[in-house]
Amino acid sequence: MRGGSTRERAESWRAWIAASRRREFLLVTAAALVVVTALASRTVPLTERASEFSQPWDHHKYLWMATHDPFGFHVAPFCWRVATPLIVKALPFAATTAFALATFVALWFTGVAVYFLARKSAFSRATALSGMLLFFFFGWAVRANLYNIYKPDPLAFLAMTVAMILIVDRRDLWLAALLAVGVMAKESVLFVVPLYYTLHAKKPVDGRLAARTLLVALPAVAVLVALRALIPMRNDDAAYLERLPEVLQVVQLGTSRYELGWLWREIGLARLRESFTASLYDGTIGTWGVVALTLPLFALRRTLPLFARFLPFLALVYAQTLFATNVGRLVIAGFPAVVLMSLHGADAIAGRLRVSAAWFAGLFAALIALSLVRRSMIVLPPRYEALAFLLFLTALFSYVAWRGRRAPA
């Protein structure tokens, strides 16, 4: 009887935990839906009615792939990013509507995944909620893609964030499968692979862990090789390019060229020589804003070791700027690392002042609300963000002082 009673209590406890987790998932998913719906409602998407739709940007390539044959386009690198066009082609809607829906859902669940990545990283529910809201505040991650709804980045963001959760949990088979599918959205999904080693390594050199890291990456590498074999690039094939409209030919800088050496010379070296200061700004404050760069400074003992573990991932993310234009849209892929480091700073402040981390959820919700003032605003101007952060800190310290005065002597 006693053993049976113990088993019953254990089963009851497990059922309660499972129900609690389901409620948490449903509440977080609902909250994320509300936020991304608000952001989408205040963002004008790039449709045929937009004056800039005729520009030879990426959207023309992905639209062609979705409305024709996703495997029949041969202008790199777009031609290898087949996942989103395949999803759009399978949906029973017009292409523009299907792209908008796919982008919306991917961003929605990326926010949910950011929450659970924070929970897996031992943050409280309130702090994890703050992390989710911080992700939604990153304009280059969310509003830029709600504007240009045709890009593969939202699906890549989702794959990368879930992959990090699987890395933390060491779900190797699921991770390998996810990476293999994720690289069909965008090759940058592979940037998370070094984290399998750096997040688990107990010593600088661990041969067994390095071998496991390579093994989880092999299926994704095989998929990348297969895509390039199945869909050969024809950027230098004049006869092929002549059959395409100009908007489908242009890759970057008004040309069809896609050679890493040429891109390095024309973009990377030019950026380092001629616009390094501007690029540095674009890749820091211009991408992450004031708050996300400031908060980690309040917990350097936690954020510096975490930064070291994320460094290979961030190095790969920032290396993209040496081969492609538009810094913000590239480096924003590092958002999981920036969110986690910011949350450590928020927790440190909350702990020292003995206040709830929900204060920071309020801060990020307020910043999102400010960014909604203008429908065309991708990123909240830093001066407004800095002012809002200053007002927040003033309110927080005023509350702490008021609470201290009310406390009994």
Structural domain boundaries in the chain: 11-404
Instruction: Name residues whose C-beta falls within 8 Å of residue 406's C-beta, 6 or more positions apart in sequence.
Output: none
- Rounded to whole angstroms, the Cα distance separating 41 from 287 reads 22
Q: What are phi and psi of 47, to 5 degrees?
A: -110, 180
**For residue 322, what are its two tokens?**
């040496």
SS3 at position 252: strand
Q: Assess contact for 233 and 291: CB atoms under 8 A.
A: no
- Rounded to whole angstroms, the Cα distance separating 11 from 172 reads 28
Compute, in degrees rounded to 10, the torsion defined by CA atoms 264, 267, 271, 272: 10
Handedness of CA 209, 212, 214, 217 (dihedral sign): negative
Residue 375 confidence (pLDDT): 85
Residue 2 confidence (pLDDT): 47
Ordered per-residue pLDDT tens for the chain, 409 residues: 444 566 666 566 566 666 788 899 999 999 999 999 999 999 999 999 999 999 999 999 999 999 999 999 999 999 999 999 999 999 999 999 999 999 999 999 999 999 999 999 999 999 999 999 999 999 999 999 999 999 999 999 999 999 999 999 999 999 999 999 999 999 999 999 999 999 999 988 999 999 999 999 999 999 999 999 999 999 999 999 999 999 999 999 899 999 999 999 999 998 888 888 999 999 999 999 999 999 999 999 999 999 999 999 999 999 999 999 899 999 999 999 999 999 999 999 999 999 999 999 999 999 999 999 988 889 999 999 999 999 999 999 999 998 877 766 5
Nearest to 154 by CA among 220, 106, 210: 106
Q: Assess contact for 219 and 176: CB atoms under 8 A.
A: yes
Q: What are phi and psi of 373, to 5 degrees?
A: -60, -40
Q: What is the DSSP letter of 201?
A: -
Residue 357 confidence (pLDDT): 92
